[in-house]
Structure 1
């Protein structure tokens, strides 16, 4: 994995027309981006965190070039914000959710192995609430769903209101405009608080919501009394 990142920085970036003058800054940006996975953290905040000790920080245009080059190399796989085809919702955020091509790459960039991820003290990040392990779990679920959605010619996005009051981890939209709402929880049980945003989405878009689903780390698939489906990650499939 380290050799792969070295190859990207030293060879593939220049081949894309982006010569890297300060490889250490690009590596720091990648690691900070990994720490922000599964969030909508602003690029300016990622840059500040990656270059906190530098007096000569790269320009915003430079970091946007990083993003564009990494996307063209398929290292970044961001989830776009959902833009409804029908005007059911307003005040939606327009920031993408940050994901790399593979959650294993994110863990390696952060220098975390399996043992470290399972230690609670290794999980926090200054860029987001929750833990790195939870973010990796969401990343893995999103990667799987994106693969299956492409086979069904469906689009994957996420929903977050501008003030952050409501957020649905994944929105899977079919060609007819109807959607699946998906929440992702790294837990072995699903509580009422875990489905409140799915209830809100159902109230707002009504029949255009095909189903509401929580994907979790438990072992049993079932449907709750409120008609929300609960599915283990291990049972996901096309």
Structure 2
């Protein structure tokens, strides 16, 4: 597959490497992620022709009448927002079988359709690539010196203090990593994101599986998620907070996850040296921290004055970037918490060999960093490392400052130095 030759104004994305390698390996690649995260623009860097299903009813009607006419064209052929015409899936899959070639189709989707549509999974023919909003490396706000890949290899941490100040980090969280909002002020970006969330509640959650849902109820759940961001809030907690019943919260939350608006970090399940039980609940986040701010109408000034809440939004920012950087290293992201209260905000673990590192997030301050470091060292003593080995790194991730290794072995680095 040829390398990406970007169009003017295009920002390179870390997902490009996965898209390129997947096109070389299988017949079709599905690029999935939230609406407006840049999927179409990135896919166009590889595509030789395209069909935009969200552009007009004509395209959708043409496919219904004659699928082969829409699927025929120079390859890779981009089928943008394919889920709007769900019959695309089986037609595309059959075309891959008939042509027996690599890199035939690129599909983008902003929603996961009902399971029965993709019951013929496409195993061996289709790969999925997850895209999120831009990380701080992709938007130019992180130097990337503190690499997840290098830390998983056990390399020490060192980085100069970046030029990005705390105020800039707050603005990055409020504006988010949406390519189309990158040049807007945080206030203008928040206006757009408020409209984005309103559209999610008004139409998108119904469109995902053709089930009518109460707009006010969906909006109430989104606000509840924002109040409980970076927490292990269960269905009952969210139901009480949003004044909804538990079954409704479960259904609405599943729809938001299928739209790639909400997501969660699963609990890490290591073997322990102690008998302290582990907590099993996932930790809840938005796909981008700006959505939490928009849901509660929290702009830059409000978040700067409410640092306890900004600490949670900051953790959402960290989790977004970690998910992308971990993907690039073939790793997954979890959280850890046991019933004694010992926790780690993030565990990054490589799938191939189990190598892992543990991360605590703190806005800054010597005392807060000291407490986080002690917590990480306690975690290291608690986990049975006989099978997975000791952590390759213990890291306190802050909002600003230098990257360095403490005498106790714990690393400290700002989010503006983190990279893949």
Q: Note if contact 1:177-1:208 (Cα within 8 Å) is conserved in structure 2.
A: no
2:348 equivalent to 1:172: yes
**What is the 5 A alignment of 1:1-238?**
1-17=193-209, 18-20=211-213, 22-51=214-243, 58-84=244-270, 86=271, 91-120=277-306, 131-161=308-338, 163-175=339-351, 176-189=353-366, 191-205=369-383, 206=385, 207-238=389-420
Q: Note if contact 1:155-1:173 (Cα within 8 Å) is conserved in structure 2.
A: yes
- The structure with more radius of gyration: 2
Q: Deviations over 1:34-78 (max 9, x none)?
A: 110111122211211111xxxxxx432111011111000000121
RMSD over aligned CA atoms reads 1.7
Q: TM-score, normalised by structure 2?
A: 0.50
Q: Note if contact 1:188-1:218 (Cα within 8 Å) is conserved in structure 2.
A: no
Q: Distance in 1 between matches of 2:396 and 2:197?
A: 34
Aligned length: 220
Q: Distance in 1 between matches of 2:317 and 2:363?
A: 11
Offset at residue 25 of structure 1 (A): 1.9
Q: Which range is displaced more, 202-211 or 214-223?
A: 202-211
Against the structure 1 CA distance between its residues 143 and 202, is the aligned structure 2 distance closer, same or farther, given a 3 Å change threshold? Answer: same
Offset at residue 134 of structure 1 (A): 0.4
Q: Distance in 2 between matches of 1:231 and 1:97?
A: 23
Q: Secondary structure at the match of 2:262?
A: coil
Offset at residue 218 of structure 1 (A): 2.8
Q: Distance in 2 between matches of 1:10 and 1:164?
A: 42
Q: Note if contact 1:188-1:219 (Cα within 8 Å) is conserved in structure 2.
A: no
Q: Secondary structure at the match of 1:14?
A: helix
Against the structure 1 CA distance between its residues 146 and 88, is the aligned structure 2 distance closer, same or farther, given a 3 Å change threshold? Answer: farther
Q: Distance in 2 between matches of 1:83 and 1:72?
A: 25
Could you tell me which runs of 5 or more consecutive residues in structure 1 were left unpaired when the two chains were aligned. 52-57, 124-130
After the TM superposition, list the runs of 4 or more consecutive aligned residues in structure 1 that deviate by more than 2 angstroms.
86-90, 188-192, 204-208
Offset at residue 118 of structure 1 (A): 1.3
Q: Note if contact 2:343-2:379 (Cα within 8 Å) is conserved in structure 1.
A: no
Q: Distance in 2 between matches of 1:3 and 1:137?
A: 22
Q: Secondary structure at the match of 1:99?
A: strand
